[in-house]
Chains A and B, each alone.
Chain A
Amino acid sequence: MANLSRRQFLKASGASLAVLGAGGLPSFAAEAKRRVVVIGGGWGGATAAKYVRLTDPTIEVTLLEPNKEFISCPFSNLVLAGVESLKNLTMNYNGLRKHGVRVRHEAAAAIEPDQKRVRVGKDFLPYDRLIVSPGIDFLWDQIEGLAQAKDTVLHAWKAGPQTVQLAKQLQSLPDGGVVVVTVPPVAYRCPPGPYERASMIAWYLQTKKPKSKLIVLDANKDIVSKPGLFKAVFKDYAANLDYRPSQKVEKIDVGAKEVTTDIGDKVKYDLINVIPPQRAGAIAVEADLVGGDKRWCEVDHVTYESVKHKNIHVVGDSTIGLPVPKSGNVANAMGKICATAVASLLSGKEAPVIAPGNTCYSWVNDKEAIAVVNAYKIENGKVVQIEQKLTPGKSVGVAQNSLAWRTSIWNDVLG
């Protein structure tokens, strides 16, 4: 009832009479707070939390993020090759607190859409609108033997301890060793990421362990992102890099140090990095935000409201259906657009019609990078690409631009 009164009040100022009649002054003062809860403090969620406050500082925003530190996935492939440290990619959430975001380092246990609340431990957080940015989780059971080998077969696809561990495994590889990296079928987080990783590992082997070899087993039939640019890069690493498309890994035998692909090829390795197949973060699946594929969340292209549950918005890598890559830059753009939509809707206004953009750099050695940039528009309520542009080739200038990008976007997400 109280909620109803408040919503009516927000819809039309005339309703204020009813509220006054029913509740009187103090109840209105207490009810006026509009509450947004954000689940997940990655690129999408942290940005959304900050930008709801920037758009409308009267909205109360609580961010639920179990980790005390934000570690950037972009640039973590450079850590593997020893040209960057994880410390430089690690930040805290104090910037968001300065914007008045209530940051709670706890995990959301469950979403209750009917009650409009999130369970956190034994506590419940009510919301008027919820923004879910759960990132990705792995489908371990899609590769036989992988679930049991999770501790030693690293993914390093969420930047953090595994990134450092994989870098150490590479350092201990004897010269002449064979490294295998497996690429999952689309859709997965960061389309060019596996190929940037392959380039950085190949560069490392070429310069530090020249007798060693990297075999890339790609479940996709071709390089998924920036194919022309990566093919040119891979040519430079021909002595140390063997790229094999249409080789979906189906089984791993850690005892025999061998993987089997869907066409029956068996590949031996000394060191393996399996990037597992992926789906939206667990909470999105549990809250029934995913579609028929049980993997990804379909959303409205303007407000990012879930097509399955009202008042719940989803941003970042866990979304599907927009012609955009699962990139940090896109998650940041979605976070900002969703935040303005949420703030507008909570004030009874229409959400502004804004499209995301994507700026995506990939490093290919210790000093050069390539890039792809996409601009989008909204057409009939859907995100449509205006143009995609690639850099002509790898260059130091593009790498320098990527450093400027990270300085700016980290600040946009957290500062």
Chain B
Amino acid sequence: MRRSLTLFRQNDALLHERVFPLPFFKFTTRQNFAYTSALSTTEAGAPRCSDRKHKSVGLRLSLWTSIAVFSFTFAAFNASAGPLDSPGAQKSLVCSACHGFAGNAPGNTVPIIAGMNASYFKKAIKDYAEGKRPSPEMEPYSKYVIQFGIDEIADYFAAQKKQAPALTKTDPKAVSRGATLATQCGACHGPKGDGDPGSVTPAMRGQPAGFLQAQMALFGSDKRKLEDAGLEESKKRVFKGLTESDFADLAAYYATLK
């Protein structure tokens, strides 16, 4: 009991550290940057720059020119220029509850899907929908993605800039052990875990450690299989010699790769 309480408290401390104030700060900064750069606004949201344009330029222009200026301004209003102004962004609105704004998940067990290769995204969604990858969360949501438009949603996330995961406290020794173990993963996943878009091999670099470890546990217990028989065999060979603590070390290593 004592141990489990400690487990919770540790998580909570880590969580607390991640939530307050770092990710809040990081995320709001990111989002603010995304739209303030797209359209200058005051704190209250009034279009400061365009107002100035009206007053200094508009008054000196003839009626027809000012109509043109207004039509332009109105078009700008209509275009809205927010970061959600695309079908893919709107169709994936529900995803940010778990996967963070624009797919930059701040949680330890949820993958960052910002910048994810679109082909791999689609493969993952199809695998979840067909039950090939077990996840009570993603099985229904994968069907949602297919329902609303897998191509647009995949393209939207692929176009987002990936941020580094909100790092939990990492043990340098675990990272170093993970680096040694990772040499056998590099053949398929690349020397830095970037994956291979050509063969639809996923990137592991900079994914949250909890997510990576959970996936390795699924592979290790044979609950997640690879479709290609040859790959499945080599995966089994690699995983045969690995323990739970090896998974944790590997996850720590890949999570820290920038």
Residues of chain A whose beta carbon lies under 8 Å from any beta carbon of chain B: 9, 13, 16-17, 20, 25-26, 28-29, 32-33, 51, 53-61, 83-84, 88, 91, 95, 97-100, 102, 207, 329, 332-333, 336-337, 340, 343, 347-349, 352, 354-357, 359, 366-367, 371, 373-377, 386-392, 396-398, 400-401, 403-412, 414-415
Contact = CB atoms under 8 A, between A and B. Distances in A.
A88 B67 contact: no
A343 B85 CA distance: 11
A405 to B, nearest CB: 5
Contacts of B210: 400, 404
B41 to A, nearest CB: 5
Nearest to B20: A91
A89 to B, nearest CB: 10
Report the contact-size class of chain B (Cβ under 8 Å from the partner): 35 or more
A15 to B, nearest CB: 10
Given A25-B59, A83-B8, A387-B140, A100 B91 contact: no
B67 A20 contact: yes
10 contacts: A20-B67, A57-B35, A57-B38, A99-B28, A207-B1, A336-B94, A352-B90, A373-B141, A386-B143, A411-B19
A29 B57 CA distance: 13
B100 interface: yes
B187 interface: no
B97 A409 contact: yes
B144 A375 contact: yes
Contact of A99 (B5, B31, B108, B166): B31
A179 B39 CA distance: 57
A289 B59 CA distance: 45
A60 B28 CA distance: 18
Contact of A100 (B7, B24, B45, B83): B45
B16 interface: yes
B12 A29 contact: no
A5 to B, nearest CB: 13
B144 A415 contact: no
B91 A354 contact: yes
A60 B155 CA distance: 31
B137 A388 contact: no
A408 B16 CA distance: 12
A410 B245 CA distance: 31
Nearest to B70: A16
Nearest to A28: B70
Interface string B72-115: 01110110111111010011011011111100011111100000
Given A13-B74, A375-B144, A408 B97 contact: yes
Contact of B110 (A343, A377, A401, A414): A401
